Structure formats: structure tokens, C-alpha cells
Chains A and B, each alone.
Chain A
Amino acid sequence: MIKRLFIVFALLCVLYSAFVLVGGKFKPVGRYFLNSEISDSVSGGDLYTLCLVETYRDSIPLIREERAGTAQASTLLLMGDSFMACNLASDVLANQLADSTGIGVFEIPELAASNFQMNPLPYFQQAGLPKGERRILILETVERNVLDFALCYQTFSAAERFRTLKDLRRKIFFNDDVDYFFRENRFFFPVYKGILNARFHIWGEINAQIGRHALDPPMLFFADAVNFNLRPKSAAELDAMAEMIAWLSQELDAQFNIELVYLIMPNKYSIYGKDIDPDYVYDGFIPAVQERLAARGIPYIDAYGAYQAYRSKDDGQLLYYHSDTHFTPFGKQVVLNEILRYLRP
């Protein structure tokens, strides 16, 4: 009896392994078997997606609107990581800016921005942007990434040799897609989620990518952001970073007649860290960077200052979602107002 059960179980394991391999490596096949929580219209929150603890699940509608236009035909250019592309319960910043200002706005697609490590210079060089009329580029980077990205502005090279070979190598030997499909396919996902919830409720464990969490109110913080906030940063590091941004600003101006406006989006932990950790004191990273930018004549959008100002006088609405690293529509509106204030002084 046990022997028979064992053989059936072994066969199931083999079949399941083959299924995961095919589903993970061949996305058109795999997508039909992804769990039902993955949707194009609703998000549970990116941090919830990491931990899958039901207590923290949000239900945020995703707004899908076409973004059109080209860099050549636009006066205002946007480049950024996920905050620029954030469409949680509100339209993306590019569309809102276009509606508010009536000028042509072009947002560099998130994937391209990510491939160029938030470095607009090689992107424009590769896109062959002519040096035409004066344009403004708002370059957004989330606080936890700003040092890494900025320090590579001079060294990043977009010239990828042997691209096909690298892609092939990645396809064959790097198996993140298989890992993902193993967890997220509709057959195993309920078990996986059940295990994570059991671990959370039995002994309080949550995914290591969640740096801090609280139950009342429910709030999740991304570990990378928490670690960044807690890591000491030297003045030399900040000076080097400001120098890099200044260099980028000069190059954009000289090569493309573009004015660089820097936007650092605060980590959620910078704004709400003290709410769950009373001993936490923000190290003032963003103000320190902005001070250095000002000293070098580089304009910036002060999202951190605007958020702090709001929280100190009202704080009735959340600026970030409980279960997501990104801003709420209200948080986005605050940033939008700051950008408009810069564009229409």
C-alpha cells in the first residue's frame, strides 16, 4: 500500500516538475496557469504580493490608459522607476501632467528606463534625440536606489555586445522564471499561500523582503528601503552623488538642450517609519541630497518636504498604500502639485 502511494507520489512529482519547467520557460503557456490573484485590473499591493499574508491584502484597481507621444514632440520628458509608472487607482503622472499643463508630455517606458538604470543620457543617445528646443526632464528615482543609480551615471554603458548570446544564456541557465512559476501557478499557489499564512500566524514569520510590518494599522515596509534608511551614509558619498548628478545635468544640457529636474521619491519608511518604530529617527538623507543639489544649481522637486508638511498639519489621508511601496492617488496628487508649482511658478 505504502509502496503504491509512494510510486504515485513520485510520478506526480515528476509530472509537476515537467509542468513547472514548461510553464516557467515558455511564458505563453505558463500565463494560462498563473494563479487567479494575478490580474490586469486589481492589485493586492506589491508588498502583499511578496508576503501573501492575507491580513495585509489590499484591493487596488489598476488604471490602464494609453500613453502616446514621442520624446521629439514633447516639451516635458519624464523618466523614472516605478513611481512614474504607478497606476494604482489613478492615472499615471505623465497623463495627469499632460491634462494639467496642456503641454506635450512623454514618459520613457518603465522597462527602457530600467534597462538604462535610470540614466537618460545613453537612452537619448541611443534614441537619437536631436538637440532641439529647450525641454525639461524630470528624473525620478526612489530614495533607496538613488545612490546606486547616480553613482553609475558616468560609467553606465548601453552598448550591449553579444546580446543574443546573453539572452540565450539567461534563458537556459537562469531560472528565476521557473522559481516564479513554481510558486505562482494556480495548482500550487493556494498551498504556498497557506504555508506563508501559517508561518505568519504560528510564529510571526513574514517574507524576508518585508523589512518591517505592523498589525495596527496594518502596514508593510520593503526591506531594501528599511535597510537603506538604517544604513549610515557618509558625506563623501553624498558629495560624490551630487557631483554625478551635476555632471549628468551638464551633459544633458550640452548634448540635448535639456534641463534636468531631480525628483527623489521618499521611501515609505522615511515617511511612516516612526509610526511603527517610535525610536526611529530619519537620517535626513533626502534634505541632505537636495541641499547639495541646490548648491550646484540643480533644480529638484521636494516630494519629501511636501509629504512632511502635509503630515505635520493634517495627516488625514494616507500618502502610501498599506500593502504597497507606492503612493496613493492622494500622495501622487501632492507630488503632482509640487511639479506643477515648479513648472508654473
Chain B
Amino acid sequence: MLFNSIQFLIFFPLIVAAFFAIPQRFRWLLLLLGSYYFYMCWKPEYIILILISTIIDYYAGLGMDSSENPGRRRLFLMMSLFSNLGLLFAFKYFNFFNDSARALFNQFNIFIDLPTFQMLLPVGISFYTFQTLSYSIDVYRGERRAERNPGIFALYVAFFPQLVAGPIERSTHLMPQFYREYHFEYQRVGSGIKQMLWGFFKKVVIADRLAILVNTVYNDPTQHGGLGLLIATYFFAFQIYCDFSGYSDIAIGAARVMGFDLMENFRRPYFSKSISEFWRRWHISLSTWFRDYLYIPLGGNRTTKNRWYANLFMVFLVSGLWHGANWTFVIWGGLHGFYLLFSIISAGIRERVSRALGLLSRPELQRWVQVIITFHLVLLAWVFFRANTVGDAWYILTHLFTDWRLPQGELLWGMRRADFLISLLGIAFMEVVHLGQRYGRTPPQLANQRPAVRVMAYTALVLCIVLFGKFSASQFIYFQF
């Protein structure tokens, strides 16, 4: 079930009403059944994968918890790792590695017929497998006790607001919340709905509209000139942000309506002054996952310099691969790894350049220069992320500054002029709100206004969504990961 579907508009109020209407001891059951239903509306049989992951990790957790023997504990951890990563590999990466191996063999004139696995990628598999893995690793490390209640554990794996596209929650944060009793609180419910509205605005007014132009250009880049390629690349940066952060806002808001607190996933990432800051603001739940469960176990920065660099680069390569089974994602991850290493190595030089340009004495100007440079580095990497093939990405990068002509006819790169204008206005409005948030103004200021003003502001937002939203129930981009 998509958040931006009529089904969800029906499902959500009913679940919330039932949640507050029934006694606390049955609420986990309602949420669990609701979550399974939410997932099964996409493809019912794939619920089996979630059940397999849930059962194995539940018993692996109990096994680790009940044993003092390190070897036995490691065995249970391996069982969890192999089953979850095995599912992920089988459904997401098998064909990718197969194709890559076939292409490699072909280079040496070795032609072998490797089998392909014709299965649909289960929605959200990367999210729920990573979430359950974090639980198993936490239990193994002794950072938490195993969950005894299988229902609560199953709900942790399948909790519908964040099941298919995160935030990837830690068991220590989310699971205890399922034991607490929540009452209908006007302030909290209102705040959750406002965040959902903001997410819907980003998704249906901005992201889905930008998708029209981005898809037209990126699905056939050779048919478009440099101006189209450049605009599509800028648009994609905002499309993916609005799509994914919009999803996170709806997820966080929906959970908050019922009383649950999910972790923040985006913090205005395009205002980052460096790539490392960008990764502290973009998909925070994944970045911290990789930090805690891959980067630090690899040794982090408490090792030799070369090993540290290798660790950083490795984490970004894996992060790229996590996003999709395609070399474009690996290159995207590699580029970010390279940026980060370069920024560490060149810190001294960059400071000298800043001093020479007189930027150090103008911190506000320096900050904006850094923000603009970081944004464009991220933008460059997005080309690989969005392009269908590495060849397409290369074509786009090498043709960005050629043939700057406006297209003829009523459409601008597949998009109506009115849509183009609404896109620009939507992005501008969102960035004004972000700037307000950055300087600590917008939400508190609105909250301090008279009730009538607040009602008008939120009614205007609803009207914007209703009048300018795209309601084709298009999938969220991160579903495919």
C-alpha cells in the first residue's frame, strides 16, 4: 500500500481509531495485523519473506541471549546474518552478480550460461532486513536483551509506517515504545498530521511533478540537449529529496499520531557545508546504521591512516550497492567515498585557499560557498544514481554544456509549462521553509500565531496538495531499494 494512495487514506484513520479504541494489551496485535495487511496489499505472497526473517531473528536472538558460550552466540549471529543477507542476495543481487560475472567471462571469450532468477524485488527488503540485522547484532554485542514476546518482535520488524522505506529503526529505540500506553493527545496527533501533510506536499506536489521531466530526459538522454540534461539533473536532486524525505515525513507523522517516535531521517541535507555533513543529514538512519554496524567494526578511524581511508571508502561502496544492484549505484557510492577522502586529505589546502580568498573573515559568505560546492558535488553524483546505465551517465556528464536550446512545442522536456512553473514555485516554497527552519523561525513562528492564522495556513497547504498534487499513486523511489 502506498502512502499516497486512496487505500491509505482509508486504512490509516481506521487503524488509528481502532488503536485508540481497544485496550493496550491488544494494540500490538492490531498494529501487527494492520502492518501485514499494509504490506500484503502490494504482493501478498511476499509476506513469507518477512515472516522468515522474523522467525529466524527471533530465535537467533533468544539463542544468543540464553548462551554464555561465545562460539554458540556467534553461531546464532551467523544464522541471522546468513538468512537476512541471503534473502537480500537472492532477491536483489543474484542477477546483478550473475550478469557481471557473465560479462567478465565474456571478456576472456569464455561463454557460460548462468541461470537468472526471475523474481520481483520484494518492496522494502533492504529496509527490514537491515532493521532485523541491527537487532541481532545488538543482542550479540550484549547491548540489549533478546525480545521474549514474539508478537512485539514481529511488530518491530513489520511496523507499517516504516516497513518499506524506513527510517531503519533500532530495536532499543522502537521496541520499548510498543509496551507503552498512549492516549489520544490533541497536540501530538495534530503535530503528526502536520508532518504527514508536509510529506504529502513534498511527494505529490513537487517530487511526482519533477518526475515527469526527469523521467523523460533520463530515460532517453541522447534525445535531449545540454540544457535539458542540466535541468533534469537539478530537478532530480529535488525529486529524490522530496520523494524520500516526503516518505519519511509521512512515516514519522503517521507513527506520531499513534504515539510512536521514529528517528529523524533528513535534516535539510542540501544546506550541508561538506560531504561528511551531508551524510549526517541525508538518510540519517542508514548512515548511522553503516557507522555502527560496518564502519566501526571495520576499525573506524582508530587504526592506521591507510586502513581508515580504506574503511571509509568501503562503507560508501557498500552503501552504493545497498541502494541498488547496478554499477551506477556502486559508482555513486564510490564517488561519495572519494569526496570524503579528498575532503580529509585536502583540508589544509582548502583552508589556505579560503584564507587567500578572504573567505575566513566572512564566515557567512564562506558558509554559502561551501553549501553551493557541496550541493554541486552531490548533484554530480546523482547523475550516476539516476542514470539507467553507466553509459547514459557518462553521456549526460559529457553533454551537459552542449546544445543549450529550448525545446520546440508546448512541452518542456515532456513537461507542460504550467507544471514547470509549479515545480519551480514548489521548490522555492520548500526552500523558504527550510531556510526558516535553519534560522529557527518557521515552525515556532507559525505555532505562535493566532488559531485562525494557523488554520488558514494548514488549509492553504491542503488546498495546494489537492489542487496541485499529482495523484497517479506513483511509487516512492526508495521502495525499489
A interface residues, Cβ below 8 angstroms from B: 1-3, 6-7, 10, 13-14, 16-18, 20-21, 169, 173-175, 178-179, 182-183, 195, 198-199, 202-205, 208
Contacts and interface: CB of A to CB of B under 8 A. Distances in A.
B418 A205 contact: yes
Contacts of A16: 13
B467 A202 contact: yes
B446 to A, nearest CB: 14
19 contacts: A3-B186, A10-B13, A14-B16, A14-B17, A16-B13, A17-B9, A21-B10, A169-B44, A173-B44, A174-B41, A175-B7, A179-B5, A179-B7, A182-B6, A195-B466, A195-B467, A203-B422, A204-B418, A208-B472
Nearest to B418: A203
Contact of A7 (B6, B44, B186): B186
Given A14-B17, A173-B40, A204-B416, A182 B9 contact: yes
A168 B41 CA distance: 13
A178 B190 contact: no
Contact of A17 (B5, B10, B190): B10
A178 B186 contact: no
B287 to A, nearest CB: 34
A17 B14 CA distance: 7
B219 to A, nearest CB: 14
Interface string B37-48: 100110010000
Contacts of A169: 44
A3 B451 CA distance: 10
A16 B14 CA distance: 10
B455 interface: yes
Nearest to B7: A175
Query: Chain B interface: which size bin?
Result: 20 to 34
A301 B328 CA distance: 51
Contacts of A178: 6-7, 10
Interface string B418-432: 110010000000000
Contacts of B11: 17
A198 B44 contact: no
Given A18-B14, A179-B5, A179-B7, 15 more contacts: A1-B451, A10-B13, A13-B13, A14-B13, A14-B16, A17-B13, A173-B40, A173-B41, A175-B6, A175-B41, A195-B467, A199-B467, A199-B468, A203-B418, A205-B416
Interface of B: 5-7, 9-11, 13-14, 16-17, 37, 40-41, 44, 186, 189-190, 416, 418-419, 422, 451, 454-455, 466-468, 472
A173 B416 CA distance: 35
A178 B7 CA distance: 7
B194 to A, nearest CB: 11
Contacts of A179: 5-7
A2 B451 contact: yes
Nearest to B470: A208
A183 B6 contact: yes
A174 B40 CA distance: 9
B201 to A, nearest CB: 16
A222 to B, nearest CB: 16
Contacts of B37: 173
Nearest to A195: B466
A178 B8 CA distance: 11
Contacts of B451: 1-2
A205 B186 CA distance: 37
A83 B262 CA distance: 53
Contacts of B41: 173-175
A202 B190 CA distance: 31
Contacts of B419: 205
Residue of B5, B9, B472 most packed against chain A (CB within 10 A):
B9
A321 to B, nearest CB: 25
B13 A20 contact: no
